[in-house]
């Protein structure tokens, strides 16, 4: 899990989270599932794209995963924009 934070009034505030879940089934350990959320006040500022880029790097270069899955609703234009 990776977290994006900002500091407001000398306190850290979580504004985005991305997770990568790897299957515990031995023959499926080459694949992972991604979940991502960005606080609505910070959407459109590149936070989701930055988190997504970091998790792809982790999956590809460190975990050597061969397949990643992410489900996005067809009307979620902001999420689709991150992926394109």
The pLDDT of residue 54 is 97
The pLDDT of residue 29 is 93
Q: How far is CA 42 from the centre of its chain?
A: 15
Q: Tens digit of pLDDT per residue, the chain (84 long)?
A: 999 999 999 999 999 999 999 989 999 999 999 999 999 999 999 999 999 999 999 999 999 999 999 999 999 998 888 887
Tokens of 70: 């992410």
Domains in the chain with CATH codes: 2-83 (3.40.630.30)
Per-residue CA distances from 74 to 45, 50, 53, 79 (Å)? 21, 22, 21, 9
pTM for the complete prediction? Answer: 0.88
The pLDDT of residue 12 is 96
The pLDDT of residue 34 is 97
């Amino acid at each position: 899990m990776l977290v994006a934070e900002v500091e407001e009034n000398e306190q850290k505030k979580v504004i985005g989270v991305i997770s990568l879940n790897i299957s515990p089934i031995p023959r499926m350990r080459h694949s992972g599932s991604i979940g991502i959320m960005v606080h609505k006040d910070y959407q459109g500022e590149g936070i989701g794209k930055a988190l997504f880029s970091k998790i792809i790097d982790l999956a590809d270069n460190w975990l050597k995963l061969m397949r990643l899955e992410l489900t996005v609703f067809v009307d979620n234009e902001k999420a689709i924009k991150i992926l394109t």
